[in-house]
Structure 1
Amino acid sequence: MKYLKYMYVLALFVFVNYTFGQRIVVKPTPDSWTTSNSLATYKDKIIHLKKTTEKSAVLWLNDMNFENGTIELDIKGKDERGNSFVGLAFHGSDDTNFDVVYFRPFNFKNPEKKDHSIQYINAPNEPWHVLRKQFPKKYENSVFPVPDPNNWFHAKIVIKYPQIKVYVNDSKTPSLEVDQRSERTDGKLGLWIDSEEGWFKNVVIQRG
């Protein structure tokens, strides 16, 4: 009996550590994702996401309930003012309610707009303009090191509710460090755009 109890505890320990320390390399294939207000194409291990409505577009990862952990991915937008908003949606309860961290590549090298290069929002109730008005400079920042706005850059998003830290291009210093505004502690995870298009690749998730 003691042996069986020991084996049960050991199995539970291994399962918990596997679940919360699990590293998932996400396949860039249609069977891994579900579109919302979007059209996705998959070629050469790159996901090209396009909007199909006036609403923001999300490509949700199938069978994923994400709580805390780290998401790493490569993102590409373009240096086109007002037409490149690319990032990650997380803790989604449906296609409308979720948190987002996103980038505005067209501001990366703009001396007057660089402090608006990365943004956190709580959709749909607290979009960027509401947070900017109520909490100036708190939920957005410049990005460092500064990427090429027309090229790929690497993003590492560390979530430990309510804290969010975002690192760019292997920097040891976060470009953005904020607390979530929502009370959602887990939920769906997806790629997000609120512009004509965006590109994503090398999505890796580390739970815990």
Structure 2
Amino acid sequence: MSGNDQTRRAAIGGAALTVASASSLAALAAPRSVGGTGLETGAIRAIGVDTVRTHYMGRPALRATALENVPELDRLVVLDTPAFGDGVIEAWISGAPSATASATARGFVGLAFRVRDEAQLEAIYLRPTNGRSDDQLRRNHAVQYISHPDYPWERLRAETPSRYETYVDLEPGRWTHVRIVVADSKARLHVDGAEQPTLIVGDLKHGADAKGAVALWIGPGTLAHFSGVRITS
């Protein structure tokens, strides 16, 4: 089994991973646990990523380091959950350029959803080094939505400038809380508990009925940490 495509056992920090049924409000109030608590383990599958359980900045965490020179379009840590269509994904995430990263690395870190066949996915991610850059243009590229394989960031930026990315205050290496609300063909990103969304995507490219896995998403040259992942659907 190769180092960039394997099943690992690791805690995803805090209340490691919980999934709630949308059948009733009572179910949302008492979500079913998948992978147990932070003292137990949850099944994950790492693709193009090296992972290890650790503690980081006061939280139990999964550390994920992007492997270099891998052929996959995306570097993912796929979570063992039921198929996700509509719902809410929350997590504490942290990203910074790795020690061997190039000058263009930004500490890319985020969450992917509706993942199918590892090459079809929607994702929203952060570029932490852009958050407090002195260059306003870079600041405006702090948050990014992508839809692979047909809509990478380069195409979205060229064809629809500023529509799928925006500014938010970020620092490399610190914990940032993200909450992604997905409904039909729309997704909203809330950062650090803000009531108003930082980014609104009104036309998810795979359509309203798409379903698939949820995954932790890491870009090239990134050292990332994830904690307290929670999924309700």
**What band does the TM-score fall into relative to the shorter chain?**
0.7 to 0.9
- Alpha-carbon distance in 1 for matches of 2:104, 2:126: 11
Moved more, 168-177 or 195-204: 195-204
TM-score, with length taken from structure 1: 0.83
Is 1:65 the equivalent of 2:88?
A: no
Is 1:106 the equivalent of 2:129?
A: yes
User: Number of paired residues?
Assistant: 192
- 2:158 aligned to which of 123, 129, 133: 133
- Alpha-carbon distance in 2 for matches of 1:54, 1:141: 29
2:104 is matched with: 82
Structure 2 counterpart SS, 1:112? helix
1:201 is matched with: 227
1:54 Cα offset (Å): 5.0
- Alpha-carbon distance in 2 for matches of 1:115, 1:69: 27
- 1:43 aligned to which of 45, 54, 57: 54
**Which amino acid is the alignment partner of residue 48 of structure 1?**
R
More helix by share: 1
**Which amino acid is the alignment partner of residue 70 of structure 1?**
V
1:64 Cα offset (Å): 2.5
TM-score, with length taken from structure 2: 0.74
Q: Which deviations, in whole Å up to 9, do the C-alpha atoms of 1:40-77 show, x marking residues without a partner?
A: 11123201112232532100111321111111100101
Q: Which deviations, in whole Å up to 9, do the C-alpha atoms of 1:126-148 show, x marking residues without a partner?
A: 100100001010010111xx233
Runs of 4+ in 1 over 3 A off after TM superposition: 18-31
- 2:180 aligned to which of 133, 149, 157: 157
1:19 Cα offset (Å): 9.8
Structure 2 unaligned blocks of 5 or more: 1-20
Structure with bigger gyration radius? 1
Moved more, 53-62 or 197-206: 53-62
Structure 1 counterpart SS, 2:163? coil
1:167 is matched with: 190
Identity of aligned residues (%): 25
Structure 1 unaligned blocks of 5 or more: 1-13
